[in-house]
């Protein structure tokens, strides 16, 4: 056996294969990571406000000074652009929500909850939405639709037609699940959904009608897209807060056990 001091004042013994000895395993203590919900939400809100401010500053610089790119910096913070810092942050918010839904679904499966499947599907939906946000898959839907039909007005961005249809289907499918929640969590999830959908579809439709009449190369349209993305990020933060509070109320503590299926001396 070889001895290594890994913690001041503590001695851990290892076998020849590098595994902790039985006595050392007994002395090991679980690591507890404490997360403050208010701190997480505050951090996400601060980053969101900072990104909105930078995007608005870039819009003003672009339209009032004539500098379109600002040495390449302005597009990096434009809320309406793809493949930049705000789009990455939005995808991260969606993915984080998906992970939280997944953790809850795993707990629900363990306790044999009647709505385990709904929690799992929500986890998949939000993880897919994260990928879509990063790659703009929904934009590909517009091409065949525009080739087949001529859309105008609020349906200028034709993907919203598919979006509304999917939204109605999801609302019908999850209605029973939604009303199984307590009044408090129904209100929290509903608030998050309203804010997010107002941006995702509501302002998108308004922006589409405006773009058809006046084009997209103007400050008003860019302000509309900034409002759209701001509402989406705000809705996601409200959802993350609701999910964390739900986990606090029903899961309390989460432990992770690491093991392998190989035969080892323990």
* Segment 198-207, tens digit of pLDDT: 999 999 999 9
Q: What is the mean pLDDT of residues 65-72?
A: 77
d(CA 38, CA 42): 6
- Beta partners for 10? 7
Do 236 and 47 meet the contact criterion of CB atoms below 8 Å apart?
no
155 CB-near residues (< 8 Å, 6+ apart): 161, 205, 208
Q: Which residues pair with 54 in a beta bridge?
A: none
Query: Count of residues for the chain?
Result: 266
What's the rounded mean pLDDT across residues 55-60? 93
Instruction: Decide: 163 and 147 in contact? Cβ < 8 Å.
Output: no
How many whole angstroms separate alpha carbon 208 and alpha carbon 179?
34
Phi, psi of 20 (to 5 degrees): -65, 145
DSSP state of 153: G
Count CB atoms within 10 A of the CB of residue 29: 5
Q: Residues near 92 by Cβ (< 8 Å), separated by ≥ 6?
A: 130
Give pTM, 2 decimals: 0.85
- pLDDT top residue among 148 and 65: 65
Is 55 exposed, middle or buried (CB count within 10 Å of its CB: 0-12, 13-18, 19+)? buried
- For residue 255, pLDDT over 50 is answered with yes
CB 102 within 8 A of CB 126: no
Residue 255, phi-psi category: left (phi > 0), alpha (psi -120 to 50), beta (remainder): beta
Task: State the chain's mean pLDDT as an integer.
Answer: 85
Give the domain ranges of the chain: 90-250
The DSSP-derived string for 32-78 is: -----HHHHHHHHHHHHHHHHHHHHHHHHHHHHH--SSTTTTGGGG-
pLDDT of residue 3 exceeding 50: no
């Amino acid at each position: 056996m070889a001895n290594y001091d890994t913690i001041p004042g503590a001695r851990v013994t290892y076998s020849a294969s590098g595994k902790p000895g039985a006595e050392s395993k007994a002395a090991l203590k679980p690591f507890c990571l404490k997360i403050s919900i208010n701190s997480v939400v505050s951090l996400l809100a601060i980053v969101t406000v900072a990104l909105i401010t930078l995007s608005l500053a870039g819009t003003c610089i672009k339209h009032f000074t004539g500098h379109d790119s600002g040495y390449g910096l302005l597009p990096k913070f434009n809320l309406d652009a793809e493949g930049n810092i705000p789009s990455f942050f939005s995808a991260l918010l969606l993915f984080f929500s998906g992970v939280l839904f997944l953790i809850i679904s795993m707990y629900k499966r363990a306790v044999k909850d009647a709505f385990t499947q709904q929690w799992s599907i929500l986890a998949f939906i939000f993880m897919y939405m994260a990928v879509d946000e990063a790659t703009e898959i929904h934009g590909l839907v517009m091409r065949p639709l525009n080739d087949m039909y001529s859309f105008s007005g609020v349906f200028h961005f034709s993907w919203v037609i598919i979006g509304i249809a999917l939204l109605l289907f999801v609302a019908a499918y999850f209605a029973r699940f939604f009303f199984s929640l307590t009044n408090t969590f129904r209100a929290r999830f509903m608030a998050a959904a309203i804010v997010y959908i107002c941006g995702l579809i509501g302002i998108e439709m308004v922006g589409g009608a405006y773009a058809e009449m006046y084009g997209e190369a103007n400050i008003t349209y860019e302000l509309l897209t900034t409002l759209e993305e701001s509402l989406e990020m705000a809705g996601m933060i409200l959802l993350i807060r609701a999910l964390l509070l739900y986990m606090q109320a029903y899961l309390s503590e989460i432990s992770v056990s690491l093991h392998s299926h190989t035969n080892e001396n323990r």
